[in-house]
Amino acid sequence: MKVHISERRLVGRVLVGGAIAAALMVAAPASVGSADPGRRQPNRHKVEFTRTTVGTPEFAFVTGPNGEFLVSVSGSTTFSGDLQGSGFGAGFGTANDEAEVRASGSVSVWTLTGSPCGTGTVIVTISGVAGPDGEDNRWRIAAGGGTEDLVHMSGDGTYVQDGLIGEWVGTVSCS
């Protein structure tokens, strides 16, 4: 993944999952073929959704003693697909002197207005690692961190990020 940095600011696209903006700022749309959003479903559900960054993410860059960059970012997202709603997150990442992101992680709060489990808020951790063998980008809904219908929701999956839009897949459980 590459993050283009000029005068310590992001000027280009943040590519692929694991890139900091991607890890923090994507939201998912309405549920496709899911159960009534107000009714809790106990089984596991496969989900596919798109997360899109809203507006311009806030970035801060720090250069380490060996030329490494530490990048922090925060911003908002929307979701469409099997998960619908909005989110806000903040996180960090590392990049080398050529602005190639090596690893990133974030914590987001997603407010879901449509999901197989109903509506409410969940806490999501997001991580990405890029290396010579490709990328490994993952998300996980923190167990016990939900509210309203989503108090018992859990889940995890993977994603592919292209700039400010990401395609996310995984499985969620309502109990």
DSSP state of 21: H
pLDDT at 77 over 70: yes
In sequence order, the β-bridge partners of residue 168 are: 49, 159
Residue 121: domain span: 3-173
161-174 pLDDT per residue, tens: 887 888 999 999 99
Identity of the amino acid at 36: D
Q: What is the pLDDT of residues 104-133, one digit of tens each?
A: 899 999 999 999 999 999 999 999 887 777
Cα separation values, 81 from 28, 42, 48, 84, 112, Å: 6, 20, 6, 6, 11
Domain total of the chain: 1
Q: Which two tokens stand for residue 108?
A: 């987001």
Residue 87 has pLDDT above 70, yes or no: yes
State how far Cα 151 lies from the chain centre. 20
Nearest to 158 by CA among 121, 127, 114, 123: 127
Residue 34 is which amino acid?
S
Q: Report if pTM > 0.75.
A: no
Residue 35 has pLDDT above 70, yes or no: no
- In this predicted structure, the answer to whether residue 52 has a pLDDT above a threshold of 60 is yes
Across 132-171, b (16+ Cβ under 10 Å) vs e yields eeebebbbebeeebbeebbbebbbebebebeebebbbebe
Q: What is the mean pLDDT of residues 61-76?
A: 82
We report the CATH number of the domain holding residue 161 as: 2.40.350.10
Distances (CA, A) of 138 to 9, 98, 119, 144: 26, 24, 23, 19
45: left (phi over 0), alpha (psi -120 to 50) or beta: beta
